[in-house]
Structure 1
Amino acid sequence: MAENGKNCEQRLTGMNKEQHNGNFTDPSSLNEKKRRDREERLNIVLWRQPLITLQYFFLEILINLKEWTVKLWHRRSMVVSFLLLLAVLTATYYIEGTHQQYVKFMEKKILWCAYWVGLGILSSVGLGTGLHTFLLYLGPHIASVTLAAYECNSVNFPEPPYPDQIICPDEEGIEGSISLWTIISKVRLEACMWGAGTAIGELPPYFMARAARLSGAEPDDEEYQEFEEMLEHADSAQDFATRTKLAVQKMVQKVGFFGILACASIPNPLFDLAGITCGHFLVPFWTFFGATLIGKAVVKMHIQKLFVIITFSKHIVEQMVALIGAVPSLGPSLQKPFQEYLEAQRQKLHHKTEEGIPQGENWLSWMFEKLVIIMVCYFILSIVNSMAQNYAKRIQQQMYSEEKTK
């Protein structure tokens, strides 16, 4: 395995040396060489070069494990303290006593919060591509709670099985007692935890740019290099995308806390640029993270919750199903599975058995499950490709260093 990896390195280095025969000190020549190197790295993907990609992926994992081991060794006092704390908590968890009721309660809440924070981090980090966990997990969860609340006229779902399964409480709710605020309050904890996770996921670009600015070293991150190039050519920028990025950068730089808050409070695919901007201009950590946390976990999260709750409120859903039926020719055939699915969900909410549930439920559930599997597989593939490309970048950076020393 190591020999194959070494041969791959030699091949990649040999190709790079052929491209680097020009004047290495010429800035235009250097930029062109970097562009070619980047194109080469982007071709290292599983569907084009599966063997090389997998070899580079495993070699990158070994390098990362080695680096983390060294870092943990340098902070061994902190590691020992953490292990001692973990041992105390483990003993508290397993020792019988009256405290167990509080332990179980805390365990449930901590695991529930950690689950949504983790999904939020995956949504905003993703090693180059985020797993769209709002569309796959949080959005459907809020939609299920909304539909159940209007059907049950209550949000006091029995726990357990909630949140794993939603069923109506035994006591009947009062008709019309459900409001937007009631549903918002029911899903506030998981939504805010997910938003906090997305805020945590925005920290790597900030720390990367800040470390590069303080050290004065040229970072390997391509997004940061593009950011610096954008600043250099700010006056001559013409295309819409570059001008939009510059507008975000100027807002964050000039307005500060409230500029970051505004960018974080709305669905904004360019927010990574805000993190790089704050790191590059040495914005204090708590100014950046505080504004990002408030914007994503409070403001933006309530906007997204309201959108999902309103969309899946009882009368809106009925109207959407009716509109589907109004589509010429295909309408009735498309409307029937949705009506059967909604009816099946109502039966489940009222403790009905699954026997006799219409087939439409299985069809829609099957489609959603396959969508989730496809997106998760794509996410995993993107991680493998990204790590393999990182290893290729290490080889190229090593070659740059060797050329500079000649």
Structure 2
Amino acid sequence: MDYSKLKVSELRQRLRDRGLTTKGIKSELVSKLVKADKMYQQTNTKVSLKQLITANGSTRPEHKHLLSDRRERELQRQERASLTLWRKPLLTTYYFWLEICVIIVGWGHRLWLNKKKVSFGLSVFLLLSIICVLDGPHQEYLNSTWAKLSWCVYWIGLGILSSVGLGTGLHTFLLYLGPHIAAVTLASFECQSVDFPQPPYPDEIICPKEVPEGAVITIWNVISKVRLEAFMWGAGTALGELPPYFMAKAARLTGEDPDNEDYAEFESFMENSGEKQKDFVTRLKFAVQNLVQRVGFIGILACASIPNPLFDLAGITCGHFLVPFWTFFGATIIGKAVIKMHIQKFFVVLVFSEHHVETLVNIVGTIPKVGAMVQLPFKEYLEGQKAKLHHKPGTYSKQGTNWLSWIFEKVIIVMVMYFVISIINSMAQSYAKRLQGEQSKKYRDK
């Protein structure tokens, strides 16, 4: 269709109908519509476009219906994508709360259907609560076990948030685990020991009162000190990779389209696997897919053992080709929680070891004009951190806020806020998807 013959108001109306932005001059509006038409023609269908055309050039009726359904779903995806707090704040917030209500009702219904299991679980919980309240020598072991368990659950939860994120991952390694490893590293070299008093460690790090003469701290000592939290965080990231795997596996077994953007992208890869790809990212995605598909356990292990933002595609590939669960999850947890975490720990510990930090601060001071100005707060921050290590628990008074700490705190706040906003958008779009499914069902019933 020649969109250039339409008026600007008509072009904008067509863009609104497709959930696209309407800003720009006429040529830009025309370009957006042309690109949208091309995208519709290349919609990710289980039946390729070559199969939709018969020998005489006509389209089969059943294929017409299938193609129209695919285009309708693509329009619905675009409409849902426009449902964000910065575009439609009131509607997005309203759908968000409705989705929460739907989830609560759904969980309540599941609990009601499993009354026996729920009753058993409540009985066990009540029994454990009574045991925890009663005084006795067992309290020491309970407190120790509870502290260790809560510490592990905390890092597993952060790992899950990093890889799932309900639409976008929260970079919990950069925000939490990385700084924790860095703090332990700095403290270890300052104290010449990793035997921090417990408690207050891990809530607070202070140097032990007595340190053996001639004690030498190595990188491996620090790595061993943070091994538990690093492993739990890595295990959490492995658990977060399961939803794409189960989604793709269910779609393959049932034959139903899950209407998921990542799965649609995977199907597009499958259709275009024989074509030569020029884009580097696309070639990289094909490489991950082929490695997982052809090599199996070793391929999954290789993809999981290196920082790989495309690992979701590996999970979808394993689910689509019905790779056994323990083959996928076993390789994933070994790669992420053991191999990759040791690589990341080694890098962080190496960078924040005492002599490397001092060298870095000296290098900052050699920067022309601003070096001395930037070097001073770095030195103050390191001196402040070292001073905290040599005080008694509860006696250290904060001497003011360093601007480096202030910036880091604000970065954390911004990233957490963005994460929360993404959750709200994702849940609102999920409710919109429910409404679209109900409307489509009513239309088909008619």
Which residue of 2 is the match for residue 145 of structure 1?
184
Distance (whole Å) between structure 1 residues aligned to residue 375 and residue 224 of structure 2: 32
1:16/1:396 contact within 8 Å kept: no
Give the share of equivalent positions with the same residue, in percent.
58
One-letter code of the match for 2:442?
Answer: E
Distance (whole Å) between structure 2 residues aligned to residue 140 and residue 281 of structure 1: 39
Which residue of 1 is the match for residue 436 of structure 2?
396
2:185/2:353 contact within 8 Å kept: yes
Which residue of 353, 362, 369 maps to 2:409?
Answer: 369
2:159/2:236 contact within 8 Å kept: yes
Which residue of 1 is the match for residue 243 of structure 2?
204
How many angstroms does 1:82 deviate by? Answer: 1.6
2:18/2:78 contact within 8 Å kept: no
Which residue of 1 is the match for residue 323 of structure 2?
283
Structure 1 segments unaligned to the other structure (5+ residues): 1-13, 18-22
Distance (whole Å) between structure 1 residues aligned to residue 250 and residue 112 of structure 2: 22
In the alignment, structure 1 residue 229 sits paired with structure 2 residue 262 = no
1:191/1:297 contact within 8 Å kept: yes
Larger RCO (alpha carbons 8 Å, 6+ apart)? 1
Which residue of 267, 283, 288 maps to 1:248?
Answer: 288
Structure 1 residues 173 and 131, CA, compared in 2 at 3 Å: closer, same or farther? farther
2:245/2:318 contact within 8 Å kept: yes
1:147/1:314 contact within 8 Å kept: yes
The 5 A counterparts of 1:244-393 are: 244-351=284-391, 354=396, 357=399, 361-393=401-433
Which residue of 1 is the match for residue 77 of structure 2?
38
Which residue of 175, 184, 192 maps to 1:136?
Answer: 175
Structure 1 residues 235 and 323, CA, compared in 2 at 3 Å: closer, same or farther? same
How many angstroms does 1:320 deviate by? Answer: 0.5
In the alignment, structure 1 residue 72 sits paired with structure 2 residue 111 = yes
How many angstroms does 1:354 deviate by? Answer: 4.9
Q: Between 293-302 and 389-398, report the one with greater CA deviation.
A: 389-398
Which residue of 86, 89, 103 maps to 1:50?
Answer: 89
How many angstroms does 1:35 deviate by? Answer: 2.9
Distance (whole Å) between structure 2 residues aligned to residue 363 and residue 173 of structure 1: 36
Which residue of 2 is the match for residue 10 of structure 1?
none
Distance (whole Å) between structure 1 residues aligned to residue 175 and residue 332 of structure 2: 23
Normalized against structure 1, the TM-score is what?
A: 0.90
Q: Secondary structure at the match of 2:402?
A: helix
The 5 A counterparts of 1:76-225 are: 76-175=115-214, 177-225=216-264
Distance (whole Å) between structure 2 residues aligned to residue 337 and residue 405 of structure 1: 68
Structure 2 segments unaligned to the other structure (5+ residues): 1-15, 20-60
2:73/2:259 contact within 8 Å kept: no
Distance (whole Å) between structure 1 residues aligned to residue 398 and residue 203 of structure 2: 22
Which residue of 1 is the match for residue 11 of structure 2?
none
How many angstroms does 1:124 deviate by? Answer: 0.7
Normalized against structure 2, the TM-score is what?
A: 0.82
Distance (whole Å) between structure 2 residues aligned to residue 374 and residue 97 of structure 1: 46
How many angstroms does 1:120 deviate by? Answer: 0.6
- Residues 18-53 of structure 1: CA distance to partner in whole angstroms, max 9, x if unpaired? xxxxx9945554444333322221111111110000
Distance (whole Å) between structure 2 residues aligned to residue 365 and residue 16 of structure 1: 45
1:155/1:183 contact within 8 Å kept: yes
2:168/2:419 contact within 8 Å kept: yes
Distance (whole Å) between structure 2 residues aligned to residue 44 and residue 291 of structure 1: 37
Structure 1 residues 234 and 340, CA, compared in 2 at 3 Å: closer, same or farther? same
Q: Between 207-216 and 321-330, report the one with greater CA deviation.
A: 207-216
- Residues 94-132 of structure 1: CA distance to partner in whole angstroms, max 9, x if unpaired? 111121111111011001101111111111110110111
Distance (whole Å) between structure 2 residues aligned to residue 228 and residue 356 of structure 1: 56
Distance (whole Å) between structure 2 residues aligned to residue 213 and residue 75 of structure 1: 28
Equivalenced residue count is: 387
How many angstroms does 1:355 deviate by? Answer: 5.7
2:167/2:422 contact within 8 Å kept: yes
